[in-house]
Amino acid sequence: MKAKIIVHNQVSLNGAYLGFNVDMEKYYKALNAYKPDLILTGSNTALQGIEMFNEIIPEEVEDDFRKPAIEKKDKRPYWVVPDSEGKLKDLLHVYRNSGYCKDIIVLISKNTSEEYKQYLHERHYDFVISGYLKVDLRSALDTVEERYKPKTIVTDCGSKLIKRLFKLGLIGQVSLIVSPVITRNKYAGLLTNLDIPRNIELKRTKIESLDDDLIHITYTVI
Ligand SMILES: NC(=O)c1ccc[n+]([C@@H]2O[C@H](COP(=O)([O-])OP(=O)(O)OC[C@H]3O[C@@H](n4cnc5c(N)ncnc54)[C@H](OP(=O)(O)O)[C@@H]3O)[C@@H](O)[C@H]2O)c1
């Protein structure tokens, strides 16, 4: 993959990504400032977002079976979600209709159920099949890059997907909003126990106070 991925997250002072309040407005403002062509979101994050923002899941209507028409000047990103287990079956229309993305691209594996493949096919979601048990992220993202030619890809996910991307060496920048809170033991660090062969050296590219509490720090992998 030619494009390097920007990891974006809000963390506590001790590096946890859960167990405190994420400032959604500032988090998405900083994410969108990258003007991403693709947002790479985790299936757990997507599922949690749907549950958090929708008390009742709207029923699918006829239009949800059509690919949305996209104008050339449309600057919204595509959302790409690895979802080998089909966790988002019967839910993707919520994201498709959110108004925040052009459409959803789903990354699945050979082991993904036929039922989910059929669901995606019938609704004209673009999907990439790669790998056996879990989607082979490197090869699936290569295919997405070939099809969509993104220049900027930013994550919107938790540590599971971020760790996988680090393991595959696909990260080019790190963008962290740091919160003035230290979380208790229960909450794991975003970047702890990374499976990487050697230390990654980075160069700080920005440090900015977002308000009296939050700091936004960005780094580029050297
Ligand atoms: N603090 C923040 O800024 C922030 C930001 C975003 C989200 N969050 C929180 O993070 C939590 C979710 O984080 P999470 O770490 O549980 O999950 P996640 O990163 O949202 O989702 C896990 C993703 O990793 C993929 N994955 C895992 N192992 C893989 C492998 N071996 N090969 C390919 N893909 C693999 C999964 O794909 P499959 O489905 O195919 O397994 C899935 O898409 C939520 O509570 C959310 O609110 C916090």
The pLDDT mean for the chain works out to 96
Please tell me the predicted confidence (pLDDT) of residue 156.
Answer: 98
Mean pLDDT confidence for 29-40: 97
* DSSP per position, the chain: --SPEEEEEEEETTSBSSSS---HHHHHHHHHTT--SEEEE-HHHHHHHHHHH-SSPPPP-GGGGSPPP--TT--PPEEEEE-TT-TTTTTHHHHHTSSSSS-EEEEE-TTS-HHHHHHHHHTT-EEEE-SSSS--HHHHHHHHHHHH--S-EEEE--HHHHHHHHHTT-EEEEEEEEES----TTSPBTTTT---SS---EEEEEEEE-SSS-EEEEEEE-
Q: What backbone phi and psi angles, to 5 degrees, belong to 166?
A: -65, -45
The string of pLDDT tens digits covering residues 104-160 is 999 999 999 999 999 999 999 999 999 999 999 999 999 999 999 999 999 999 999
Q: Check pLDDT > 90 for residue 1.
A: no
**Mutation choice for ligand 1 from 8, 14, 17, 48, CB with most ligand atoms inside 8 A:** 17
For residue 136, report the distance from its CA to the centre of ligand 1, in Å.
15
Asked if residue 176 lies in contact with residue 221, where contact means CB atoms within 8 angstroms, the answer is: no
The string of pLDDT tens digits covering residues 47-97 is 999 998 898 999 999 999 999 999 999 999 999 999 999 999 999 999 999
Whether the CB of 15 sits within 6 Å of ligand 1: no
Mean pLDDT confidence for 4-22: 97
For residue 166, report the distance from its CA to the centre of ligand 1, in Å.
13
Which ligand 1 atom sits nearest the alpha carbon of residue 87?
39
Mean pLDDT confidence for 160-170: 97
Q: For ligand 1, atom 10, which residue shows the shortest CA distance?
A: 158
Whether the CB of 147 sits within 6 Å of ligand 1: no
Asked if residue 32 lies in contact with residue 201, where contact means CB atoms within 8 angstroms, the answer is: no
**Mutation choice for ligand 1 from 23, 39, 43, 45, CB with most ligand atoms inside 8 A:** 45
Q: Grade residue 197 by pLDDT with cuts at 50, 70 and 90.
A: very high
